[in-house]
A and B are shown apart, each in its own frame.
Chain A
Amino acid sequence: MAKQQKTPKVKVPALHVPLTKLFSVADTDTKISYFLMGFSNLKNKQILKGLFFLLAEIGFFVWLGLNGLKMLAGLITLGTKTSGEQYDAKQGIYVTVAGDNSMLILLYGLASILLIALFVYAYRVNLKSARKIWEFKQEGKKLPTLKDDWNELLDDRLHLLFMVVPMIGIIFFTVLPIFYMISVAFTSYDHLHLPPGHLFHWVGFSNFSNILSGPMASTFFPVLGWTLIWAVLATVSSFILGVLLAMLINTKGLKGQKFYRTIFILTMAIPQFISFLVWANMLNDQGIINRLLESIGLVSASNPIHFLTGSFAAKVTVLVVNLWVGMPATMLVTTGILQNLSQDQVEAAQMDGATKFQIFKNITFPQILFVMAPSLIQQFIGNINNFNVIFLLTGGGPANSDFYRAGHTDLLVTWLYNLTLNSQDYNIASVIGIIIFIFSAGFSLLMFKRVNKLQGVNG
């Protein structure tokens, strides 16, 4: 766990003896609690709490003895025994032996580190609890009962009630996978080193150099370039056209405003795997759009428009189809903003004889941009990781023979998907994941800082 540093914001009712000094000054009960967790609680009739601490300690050390130490040690080598035929001298024959599974060794090793961290946290809570008992006794106060603790949980410690369960979920299903992913980036875990048949090992930074300057660079940089172009164009086009759409729907005197708004919102309700697969069907080389164009003689059957299979056309197609979901999303947010914009400036400008376009360009649009800046940043990050549009429409295609397992429209995130689920080059995929992370985190921190400065808000 992260070290708990006291922030000045929190009200500290009284100064406590720090846990490091507590041992020398406190009473015997507290001292024993340093070794036998929960002792002080048990002795002072806080049975449930005491038992919890005690069981946590027993459980932890039993686990450590049986599995934990082995799991931790495994992290050093990631396994040494390859599976395969081995000569058994006793029986005089070759037998198949199961080898070490590097992947599980790594995963369990990391999980043990987290478990140890959790135990250290529990240990600290135990000591604090013992300290509290000691302090209460010194002051001659009545010790809190289970009911008092419960009431405190519903009042001063309500945040624990709300945060603890989700935090445990996050530790094991988000933090652990991320640690695992970062670790894999430093190993040789690719399609040639797949457990359980093969072992993989620590390889240092060689995967990073492979991607940045080695054989993978010729795929990585073009894909990165297209990812950035895509993210910029998709975000900007959805934003500008979405704002225009919102203005259009908000035109005074337009009939059926609510009806139209609902139609556009529909695209957000329909699962994307349905809508994009339907688009992919319609835009196929033999799809209905080409067939209709063919029937009016605009294209020939042998040479349809390659919406999804032409290397340039496919890029245009994904950008255009993306508008189908992107514009309504912006429209929805903008409508809310438009209704709350102050009309003073607009009216003043109208008095001065400004045209509609001038008003839009100089007053309305900057105001919308200003309010929407944070959500634009989020949309940009979202587009860098926009998996569905690409995966469902083109699947990353058309194929590009210059690339390793990527096509012309592949984004980093769809390439990453291919590398994990199809070619099983986990180490390369992990490096890409880390690079995506650095990009997104760096960009958004930078932008949020600028936006906050501009808007005069402190993060």
Chain B
Amino acid sequence: MQKQKKRSVAIAQIVISILAFFWVIPIIFVILQSFRAEGGQFVSYFIPKQWTFDNYAYLFTNNDGWNYGQWFLNTLFVSIVAGSISTFLTIGVAYALSRLQFKLKGFYLRFALVIGMFPGFLSMISIYYILKALNLTNSLWALIIMYSYGAALAFYVQKGFFDTIPQSLDERAQIDGASRWQIFRKITLPIAKPIIVYTALGAFTGPWMDFIFAKVVLGNNQDKWTVAVGLFTMVSAKENANALFMSFAAGSVMIAIPITILFIWLQRFFVEGVTAGSVKG
């Protein structure tokens, strides 16, 4: 029995390391490519024959309009502002829908569920013209609006979390004469730290990952692009892809590393959020 158990653990150990190996291949691959000096888009070996930092340097020094430094600052700005706004909005909406009683609550919950099922791509074009009517296209504020307004529809995970906080806490405070705002500020928010971190993490990383909506809104104004739009454009045009693939890899590594560190650092909150949300439904 004991022996059999040991053997099955050993097998599990082998299987999991093989799987993990497959999972990191693309990651290792892209890191290696970012240092490759020779060749084009496709080569027949993993390890570069000549190592170089030129692919990184190119992103900051080229005159071909691939203004990575600017893109990085743009994205950082948008993600901090939009991330903060939408975290505030999401937490507020989720709290209201979970803890407060008001007339249109039931209606709103159904409304949000239904509205969330329309494919976003179709709205994209009309959102572009609405932003244009507001004279906002080609500006980073357009992106900030676009990443923030949806906050009021993406509240399920957070609402699920608030639902689990016992009602008796609120009631006791209410007897002591606390207003609902005070209950929210002093009682709920301190407990809600994991879900706030989870929300902020998602809201902050969103702008780094969106390559479609941002492109539609920002158009061809390369100085306003975000990193995702820029990097995607670099390799999606066939005529550039061969020459720029290694720089694309370098640019990818530079944004993937900070995001990954953020994820690993905040892993606990991320796992808690995902679990709370999906189990609650």
- Are the chains A and B members of one assembly? yes
Query: What is A's interface to B at a CB cutoff of 8 Å?
Result: 2, 4, 6-7, 9-10, 103-104, 107-108, 111, 151, 154-156, 158-159, 161-163, 165-167, 169-170, 172-178, 180-181, 245, 248-249, 251-255, 260, 262-275, 277-279, 281-282, 284, 286-288, 291-292, 294-295, 324, 328-329, 332-333, 335-337, 371-375, 377-378, 381, 385, 387, 413, 416-417, 420-421, 426, 429-430, 433, 436-437, 440-441, 444, 448, 451
Given the known inter-chain contacts A9-B101, A273-B231, please indicate yes or no for A173 contacting B130, CB distance below 8 A.
Answer: yes
Contact at A441–B275, with CB atoms within 8 Å?
Answer: no
A154 contact from B113, B181, B212, B264, Cβ within 8 A: B181
What are 27 A-B pairs with beta-carbon distances under 8 A? A111-B130, A162-B96, A163-B102, A163-B108, A163-B152, A173-B146, A174-B149, A177-B126, A178-B123, A260-B17, A264-B23, A269-B259, A271-B255, A275-B27, A277-B235, A328-B23, A332-B274, A333-B275, A372-B278, A374-B278, A374-B279, A375-B281, A378-B278, A387-B121, A416-B121, A426-B125, A433-B121
Given the known inter-chain contacts A163-B93, A294-B44, please indicate yes or no for A253 contacting B9, CB distance below 8 A.
Answer: yes
What is the bound-complex CA distance between A254 and B14, given in angstroms? 10
Q: Which residues of B contact A267 (CB under 8 A)?
A: 23
Going nearest first, the 5 A-B pairs with the smallest beta carbon separation are A374-B281, A166-B152, A336-B275, A169-B149, A291-B44
17 further A-B contacts with Cβ under 8 Å, apart from A161-B181, A271-B259, A277-B232, are A10-B102, A103-B129, A111-B130, A162-B93, A172-B149, A174-B153, A177-B123, A177-B126, A177-B130, A248-B15, A260-B17, A278-B252, A294-B44, A328-B23, A375-B281, A413-B119, A430-B122
Contact at A104–B129, with CB atoms within 8 Å?
Answer: yes
What is the bound-complex CA distance between A291 and B102, given in angstroms? 63
Given the known inter-chain contacts A4-B104, A433-B119, please indicate yes or no for A375 contacting B44, CB distance below 8 A.
Answer: no
Contact at A169–B181, with CB atoms within 8 Å?
Answer: no
Contact at B13–A255, with CB atoms within 8 Å?
Answer: yes
Q: Which residues of B contact A291 (CB under 8 A)?
A: 42-45
Contact at B121–A420, with CB atoms within 8 Å?
Answer: yes
Say how far B163's CB is from chain A's closest CB, in angstroms. Answer: 12
Contact at A444–B129, with CB atoms within 8 Å?
Answer: no
1/0 per residue, CB under 8 A from A, across B1-39: the answer is: 000011011001101110110011011011000000000
Q: Which residues of A contact B274 (CB under 8 A)?
A: 329, 332-333, 336
Contact at B44–A378, with CB atoms within 8 Å?
Answer: no
B117 contact from A180, A266, A444, Cβ within 8 A: A444
Say how far B46's CB is from chain A's closest CB, in angstroms. Answer: 7
Contact at A265–B101, with CB atoms within 8 Å?
Answer: no
Contact at A266–B209, with CB atoms within 8 Å?
Answer: no
B256 at the interface (CB under 8 A from A): yes
Q: Which residues of A contact B126 (CB under 8 A)?
A: 107, 176-177, 180-181
Contact at B152–A281, with CB atoms within 8 Å?
Answer: no
Contact at A166–B27, with CB atoms within 8 Å?
Answer: no
A413 contact from B44, B121, B231, Cβ within 8 A: B121
1/0 per residue, CB under 8 A from A, across B178-213: the answer is: 011110100000000000000000000100110110
Contact at A278–B121, with CB atoms within 8 Å?
Answer: no
B127 at the interface (CB under 8 A from A): yes
Contact at B43–A288, with CB atoms within 8 Å?
Answer: yes
Query: What is B's interface to A at a CB cutoff of 8 Å?
Result: 5-6, 8-9, 12-13, 15-17, 19-20, 23-24, 26-27, 29-30, 41-46, 89, 92-93, 95-96, 100-108, 113-115, 117-119, 121-127, 129-130, 133, 145-146, 148-153, 179-182, 184, 205, 208-209, 211-212, 216, 228, 231-232, 235, 245, 248-249, 252, 255-256, 259-260, 262-264, 267, 270-271, 274-275, 277-281
Say how far B144's CB is from chain A's closest CB, in angstroms. Answer: 12
What is the bound-complex CA distance between A232 and B153, given in angstroms? 26
What is the bound-complex CA distance between A371 and B228, given in angstroms? 36
Given the known inter-chain contacts A163-B93, A163-B96, A270-B259, please indicate yes or no for A437 contacting B42, CB distance below 8 A.
Answer: no
What is the bound-complex CA distance between A169 and B123, given in angstroms? 14
Contact at B93–A166, with CB atoms within 8 Å?
Answer: yes
Q: Which residues of B contact A270 (CB under 8 A)?
A: 27, 256, 259-260
What is the bound-complex CA distance between A181 and B125, given in angstroms? 9
Contact at A155–B119, with CB atoms within 8 Å?
Answer: no
Contact at B92–A161, with CB atoms within 8 Å?
Answer: yes
Contact at A275–B181, with CB atoms within 8 Å?
Answer: no
Identity of the chain B residue whose Cβ is nearest the Cβ of A172 in the assembled complex: B130
B256 contact from A170, A271, A281, Cβ within 8 A: A271
What is the bound-complex CA distance between A291 and B44, given in angstroms? 5
Contact at A170–B275, with CB atoms within 8 Å?
Answer: no
Contact at A170–B231, with CB atoms within 8 Å?
Answer: no
Say how far A25's CB is from chain B's closest CB, in angstroms. Answer: 24
Q: Which residues of B contact A273 (CB under 8 A)?
A: 209, 211, 228, 231-232
Contact at B42–A271, with CB atoms within 8 Å?
Answer: no
- Which of A178, A271, A288, A421 is most buried by chain B, counting CB atoms within 10 A of its CB? A271
Contact at B121–A254, with CB atoms within 8 Å?
Answer: no
What is the bound-complex CA distance between A299 and B280, given in angstroms? 49
Q: Which residues of A contact B180 (CB under 8 A)?
A: 154-156, 158
Contact at B101–A10, with CB atoms within 8 Å?
Answer: yes
Q: Which residues of B contact A107 (CB under 8 A)?
A: 126, 129-130, 133
Q: Which residues of A contact B205 (CB under 8 A)?
A: 269, 271
Contact at A166–B89, with CB atoms within 8 Å?
Answer: yes
Q: Which residues of A contact B281 (CB under 8 A)?
A: 373-375, 377-378, 448, 451
- Which of A277, A328, A375, A437 is most buried by chain B, counting CB atoms within 10 A of its CB? A277
Identity of the chain B residue whose Cβ is nearest the Cβ of A435 in the assembled complex: B119
B122 contact from A181, A328, A374, A441, Cβ within 8 A: A181
Contact at A158–B96, with CB atoms within 8 Å?
Answer: yes
Say how far A87's CB is from chain B's closest CB, in angstroms. Answer: 32
Q: Which residues of B contact A436 (CB under 8 A)?
A: 119
Identity of the chain B residue whose Cβ is nearest the Cβ of A416 in the assembled complex: B121
What is the bound-complex CA distance between A372 and B8, given in angstroms? 27
